[in-house]
Structure 1
Amino acid sequence: MNQRNKLRIAHFGRYGEGSTDIVKSMLLSLREMGHIVQEWDTGTHPEWVSNPYKRHGGNGPVYILLDLIRNELMDFKPDLIICNAGGHTFTLRDMNWLKSRKIQILGITLSDPDVMNTVSKYSKNFTWHATNSLVAYEEYKKRKFTNIYYMPFGIDYRFFKERSPISKYKTDVAIIGHGRKDRYPIVEALCKNFDVRLYGNEWPYSHYSMGPVRGDEWFKAAYSAKILINFPRTIKGYTNVKVGILEAAATGKLLFTEYFDEMQGLFEYGHEIIGYNSKKDLIEKIKHYLLHSEEAERIGQNAKARCLRDHTWVQRFNKLFLELNIF
């Protein structure tokens, strides 16, 4: 990247999942691209934000208190401010003040379509707004939003680094994600049929549950499994491409997820990932690939290669910034 393409970016976000959190991955990728990034971690400094409606889970508004940070922010002289997920935004008054100084503001939503009902109430105030969900993007377009862009999930360079299995975490099947009632029937069947490890909260299977993993522990868990399972349904019941798909694919482990149309734009079923349409189908396919380890490894490595070629955050941001014409 040449000098004229370097942006000065003030990045606001929090890292609920620690160093492997998606928001942290995005910040690291912006730096990898050569941009000069000022980090505003609102998880470490909750005093920088106000949450008047007690919103959580990506819902907003969660207002960044410009009056508290104005001097440091303006001393940095940002070309672009990114309000990354968590419902982060500015009040309309503060948004207009920033825009009047020719500072452009990009809002990024990572929990759509679940949070669209709250975020859509203020997202028109951003210079641009990017959503992770194709469903939400199409709904925004129907509502005549002119600043909306679709940016699928990506992955950062750390997830591609090969790691050796750790005996504590070795297993045939791993699920890295929190337990929910809609997931219990399939997970219960998996536990009865295979050597399984569950990483996350709210799993009622004490013999298999290892608790949540973050940072280096996430990598140990993922790279010590033969097969990773992803559940694409959101809390509100939407079927959606989630970041866990990219995280799992980047490891080169064999990845299973349900069949759904949006996934086919990212990975090829049967060649890069394995789809299933029922509990019985999933169990039969897992048995097959545990018996055919070379085939499983080949498919997993195909997914890793596709992820590295097409689905990094660097590629996502490059495409978005070109569309926004902000270089």
Structure 2
Amino acid sequence: MKRKRARVRKPPSTNPPPIHPLQLAESSGWHDGYRAGSEHGYHHGRCAVVLERIPPDQGVKWGLRVLYVQPKEALPYVPIDLGIIDALRGLVAELVVCKPTDDVVGLAASIRPDVVLVLDSIHSLPIEKARAIRELGIRTAVWFTDDPYYTDVTQHIAPCYDYVFTTELTCVAFYRDLGCREVHYLPFGINRAATKPVRVGTPYRSDICFIGTAYWNRVELIDRIADYLAGKNTIIIGYWWDRLKNYEKLKDKIKLGQWMSPEETLNYFSGAKIVINLHRLHDDPTFNQNSRNIPAVSVNPRMFEIGGSGAFQLTDMRGDLYNVYTPGVDLAVYHSPEDLIGKLEHYLTHEEERRAMALNALARTVRDHTYRSRLNQLFGIVASPQTVGG
């Protein structure tokens, strides 16, 4: 009887079968996309933990009847306007919202509010209406949106109000010198219900993101770092970016002339590894009515929006920055185009450091920089003790 010869198994080949170049590219792209999506989801989960640990600020319930006048020009101020309205609804006993084109004086005479609050974007409410409301014995307050860039206009508006609130620290002395007795620095903030980290798809994801109008100092900076940005997954969105000398080099990364809704802006911030913030210069000639050249030292509203999105922020320096965030802890600061390139490269390759700072900024923003907290400060100044509710 013949024995069966044992079948000898060949060891597996160490050389994989050949792969078509197209298959290889698809496989590599799939893995890159999967890794990017996993990283995005991981950071979003950590942001959710931060938000869970910091409950929404309930604030003081003010026993006030408030008449709020929206800005004349809606589009640029939508997130500010909606954030203020949402916060007011939870803070005051009664809220009436109107537009500058409404019969604001008649409405004020009818409902007799404790205070009329005007969000002013280059003279929203005509001066004669503001004066007429004061003559009714009703307290009036204005919150200027664009100081110091339109102070040639606001200098005529501020004296018509009992209380003046400005987003620029250097304008406090300016308005007081005009004879305004109650002038206070009050920056904008975020609406926590609307400005928060969101999970987004690939079209919104980037290494580096900048959203804003191409003022000349911004154009100069982006031109100086154009070669670096061209080699990264960069997104630039806003008006007038065709001013760039290196526009052709970057045009496939630029969404030109697009006005971004708050929701779309939040999507791009949430999807970016790094968001650049570059403040407008006080003497930029583009739509500037600041003939006194009042300097700008306060941070822009975008700083809080970036912080509230859970994104990591690289910003230029403003003198008031240390009063709202801590550089090196909540965000990073650059001082020149060369310094910006170095820090972009550093934070793109040091993910944990970048994410930790973004989480710190998120926590600081929802704790300290919401419209609820800002309006609590405002009513603490405007309201008399008799109007404070339980």
TM-score bin, normalised by smaller chain = 0.7 to 0.9
1:196-215 equivalences in 2 (<5 Å): 196-204=234-242, 205=247, 206-210=251-255, 211-215=258-262
* Counterpart check, 1:255 vs 2:313: yes
**8 Å contact 1:89–1:107 — kept in the other structure?**
no
Structure 1 match to 2:216 = 181
SS in 1 for 2:170: helix
Amino acid at match of 1:222: F
SS in 2 for 1:212: coil
What amino acid maps onto 2:259 in structure 1?
Answer: P
Q: Measure how far apart 1:15 and its partner are.
A: 5.4
Give the aligned partner of residue 278 of structure 2. Answer: 231
Quick check: 1:175–1:197 contact (8 Å CA) kept in 2? yes
1:159–1:247 CA contact under 8 A, matched in 2: no
Structure whose CA Rg is larger:
2
State, as a whole percentage, how many aligned pairs show the same letter. 20
Q: Structure 2 vs 1, CA of residues 246 and 75 (structure 1 numbering), >3 Å: closer, same or farther?
A: same
- Structure 1 4/30 Cα, relative in aligned 2: closer, same or farther at 3 Å? closer
**How far apart in 2 are the matches of 1:4 and 1:130?**
19
Mapped to 2, the partners of 1:109 and 1:257 lie a distance apart of 23
For the structure 1 residues 166 and 41, does the alpha-carbon distance in structure 2 shift closer, same or farther, using more than 3 Å as the test? farther
> Displacement, 1:151?
0.8
Q: Is the 8 A contact 1:289 1:295 kept in 2?
A: yes
Tell me the equivalent position of 2:196.
Answer: 161
Q: TM-score, normalised by structure 2?
A: 0.71
Given that residues 207 and 232 in structure 2 are in contact (C-alpha distance below 8 angstroms), is that contact kept between their aligned partners in structure 1?
yes
User: Against the structure 1 CA distance between its residues 78 and 283, is the aligned structure 2 distance closer, same or farther, given a 3 Å change threshold?
Assistant: same
Equivalent residue, structure 2, for 1:285? 343
Note if contact 1:9-1:35 (Cα within 8 Å) is conserved in structure 2: no
Alignment of 1:264-303 (within 5 A): 264-303=322-361
How much has 1:88 moved relative to structure 2? 2.3
Write the distance in 2 (CA, Å) between the matches of 1:175 and 1:194. Answer: 13
Aligned to 1:124: 159
Written as runs of structure 1 = structure 2, the 5 A alignment for 1:1-327 is: 5-14=63-72, 16-17=74-75, 20-42=78-100, 48=101, 68-86=103-121, 87-92=123-128, 94-188=129-223, 189-190=225-226, 191-204=229-242, 205=247, 206-210=251-255, 211-234=258-281, 236-237=283-284, 238-239=295-296, 240-326=298-384, 327=387
Letter in 1 for 2:199: S
CA contact (8 A) 1:222 1:251 kept: yes
Q: Could you list the per-position Cα deviations for residues 61-101 of structure 1 after superposition, in whole angstroms to 9, with x for gaps in the alignment?
A: xxxx7xx4544454443222122112223434x44432343
- Contact 2:159/2:179 (CA < 8 Å) preserved in 1? no
Secondary structure in structure 1 of the residue aligned to 2:156: coil
Change in 2 beyond 3 A, CA 1:236/1:32 = farther
TM-score (norm 1): 0.84
Task: Tell me if the contact between 2:61 and 2:93 (Cα under 8 Å) persists in the aligned partners.
Answer: no
User: Aligned-pair RMSD on alpha carbons?
Assistant: 2.4
Q: Relative to 1, partners in 2 of residues 1:175 and 1:122: Cα closer, same or farther, differing over 3 Å?
A: same
Distance 1:144 1:41, change over 3 A: closer
Partners of 1:209 and 1:35 in 2: how far apart?
Answer: 46
Deviation (angstroms), 1:32: 2.9
Distance 1:320 1:121 in 2: 22
Aligned with 1:122: secondary structure? helix
Amino acid corresponding to residue 85 of structure 2 in structure 1: L
Preserved contact between residue 105 and residue 133 of structure 2 (Cα < 8 Å)? no
Q: Could you tell me how far apart the structure 1 residues matched to 2:328 and 2:315 are? A: 11
SS in 2 for 1:280: helix
In structure 2, give the amino acid aligned to 1:213.
M
Deviation at 1:281, TM superposition (A): 0.4
Bigger relative contact order (CA 8 A; separation at least 6): 2
Alignment coverage as a number of residue pairs: 303
Q: CA deviation at 1:192?
A: 2.8
Structure 2 CA distance for partners of 1:279 and 1:193, relative to 1, 3 Å: farther
CA change 1:126–1:296 in 2 (3 A) is same
Distance of aligned partners of 1:35 and 1:276 in 2 relative to their CA distance in 1, 3 Å threshold = farther
Give 1:179 shift: 1.4
Equivalent AA in structure 2 for residue 268 of structure 1: T
Name stretches of at least 5 consecutive residues in structure 1 with no aligned partner: 43-47, 49-64
Deviations 1:120-162 (A, max 9, x none): 1231120111111001113233455312111112111134433
Distance in 1 (CA, whole Å) between partners of 2:373 and 2:381 is 12
